[in-house]
Amino acid sequence: MATSKKSRRAAGLAAVAVVAATALSSEVAAFADQRTGILADAVTLAADFEDGIAAKASGGTVIPVTVTGGSVGDTAQAFSALRITAKIGGVTAPVAWVDGSHLKVTAPATVKAAATTMRLFKNGVAGPESSDRVGYLPIVNSVAPSVVNAAGGATVTVTGAGFLGVDAGDASAVTFGGTNATSFTVVSASRITAVVPAGLNGPATVRVSSTGGESPIVLGSKVSYRAALGVSGDPVAKFNGGPTILTITGAGLGANAKAFAAERVTVLVGTRSVTASYVDSTRVKVTMPAATTATVPVKVMHDGIAGEAATVTMVPVVTGLSAPSDALAGGKKVTVKVAGLKIADATGFKFGDNPATCEKKGIGTAVTFLCTVPPAGAPGPVTVSFLDGENRESRFTAAATFSYTVN
């Protein structure tokens, strides 16, 4: 059958279109084959490593990885051309080539310390998630305050990393020396506030746990439990001050002076801090300042932890004698220096049991008493005593010792 010129032209155009479409399909198929090949290589590239390997939430832990499903390049140059990357928990992780089947992947920092997987990428295409998991550990960098009362109850701030992975409903997620915190609150990825449980006097480690594991022990993760110390008995001190022994309760002071120094014990007399020197495991020596009142409050500070206040009675005393002795007949003039309340009104001076006649000399704090030594019935040492202006009897001190002699 004859065909028109127009029909032959349309048929020719159709044939050209078919040829062009066929060629385009071939190119698309070839490209698809090429892409399919890349995808096939990438999805078989997987990471094997120690399951549960510990990694710091602050980042930096290097993880040795064995690659399966394909090579990562026989040389560093070939590795670079393959554009191998990695992600841990969805966060990009630095990758270093070792050989064709081994890599070193550096764990990045994370806000959520938890057990998470790794995924390798080749030419930007992801492989499967690893069956092994990276155990991100929370990190405790510091605890403030770092000294806490052994009775517990204080609130401290724990600073670190990875805390968003901590289960707020897990009572054992924050511990002090192995004892659960009384309570805690995850404030942010780097901060937890916790109420300290009771503990024993001494150091304790604060640890935080997540599904990735428990925070490691570092210097900043420690607190010092300090027992509140008290003073037993009814301690007294000379009104003019000086060395005094205090018996301490609440905890031992250490087996020796070195151990005592580590406890950092001081004593507050009123508001004034004085040095405490080691005597033994239950006693310290302090130098009391001169008093202006009959009693003085004292408080033992144990590395900053205050104990219950106690009261030291400041007793009147003889502080000096101008002459140490006299004959049995007496009669010598002796200046007696004293300390106590309202000292200008002091009365009742005695040499042993023998009353003495005394005359006040001077004014204010310079008051002294010029006494005539009374006679005595036998030679030997006696104590000079008196009553201060509040009618309180003086206590013995070495300075109050006077001797009667035969001659």
Cα-based angle 380, 386, 391 (whole degrees, multiple of 5):
150
Confidence at residue 15, expressed as pLDDT on a 0 to 100 scale: 42
Q: pLDDT tens digits, residue range 337-348? A: 999 999 999 999
Report residue 365's pLDDT band, with 50, 70 and 90 as the boundaries: confident
Does position 200 have pLDDT exceeding 50, yes or no? yes
At the topology level of CATH, where does 317-405 sit? Immunoglobulin-like (2.60.40)
Q: pLDDT: is 27 or 398 the higher one? A: 398
The pLDDT > 70 percentage for the chain reads 89
Mean pLDDT over residues 243-264, rounded?
A: 95
Report residue 185's pLDDT band, with 50, 70 and 90 as the boundaries: very high
Q: Are 79 and 70 in contact (CB under 8 A)?
A: no
Q: What is the pTM of this model?
A: 0.74
Please tell me if the domain spanning 46-136 has the same topology as the one spanning 317-405.
Answer: yes
Domain ranges for the chain: 46-136, 138-225, 230-315, 317-405
Of 20-34, 177-191, 235-249, 300-314, give the lowest mean pLDDT range: 20-34
Q: Are 95 and 105 in contact (CB under 8 A)?
A: yes
Share the mean pLDDT of the chain.
90
Q: pLDDT tens digits, residue range 255-269? A: 999 999 999 999 999
Q: pLDDT tens digits, residue range 136-145? A: 999 999 999 9
At the topology level of CATH, where does 46-136 sit? Immunoglobulin-like (2.60.40)
Residue 314, H or E segment = strand 310-315
Strand positions, DSSP E, 100-137:
102-106, 115-116, 118-122, 125-129, 134-137
Mean pLDDT over residues 307-331, rounded?
A: 97
Confidence at residue 107, expressed as pLDDT on a 0 to 100 scale: 98
Confidence at residue 20, expressed as pLDDT on a 0 to 100 scale: 39
Residue 87 to residue 69: CA distance in whole angstroms: 17
Confidence at residue 93, expressed as pLDDT on a 0 to 100 scale: 97
Number of H helices, E strands in the chain: 3, 39
Mean pLDDT over residues 226-234, rounded?
A: 95
CB count within 10 Å of CB 166 equals 24
Going by C-alpha positions, the residue among 223, 139, 118 that lies closest to residue 189 is 139
Q: pLDDT tens digits, residue range 9-46? A: 444 434 433 333 333 333 333 333 344 444 444 447 99
Does position 51 have pLDDT exceeding 70, yes or no? yes
Q: Are 44 and 69 in contact (CB under 8 A)?
A: yes
Q: What is the CATH number of domain 138-225?
A: 2.60.40.10
Answer CATH for 230-315 from 3.40.50.620, 3.50.50.60, 2.60.40.10, 3.90.1150.10: 2.60.40.10
For residue 208, give the amino acid letter. Answer: V
Whole-Å CA distances, 166 to 51, 111, 222, 378:
20, 10, 19, 84
Q: What's the token pair of residue 215?
A: 């925070």
Does position 395 have pLDDT exceeding 60, yes or no? yes
Confidence at residue 366, expressed as pLDDT on a 0 to 100 scale: 87
Q: pLDDT tens digits, residue range 125-161? A: 999 999 999 999 999 999 999 999 999 999 999 999 9
Cα-based angle 314, 315, 316 (whole degrees, multiple of 5):
130
3-state secondary structure of 349: strand
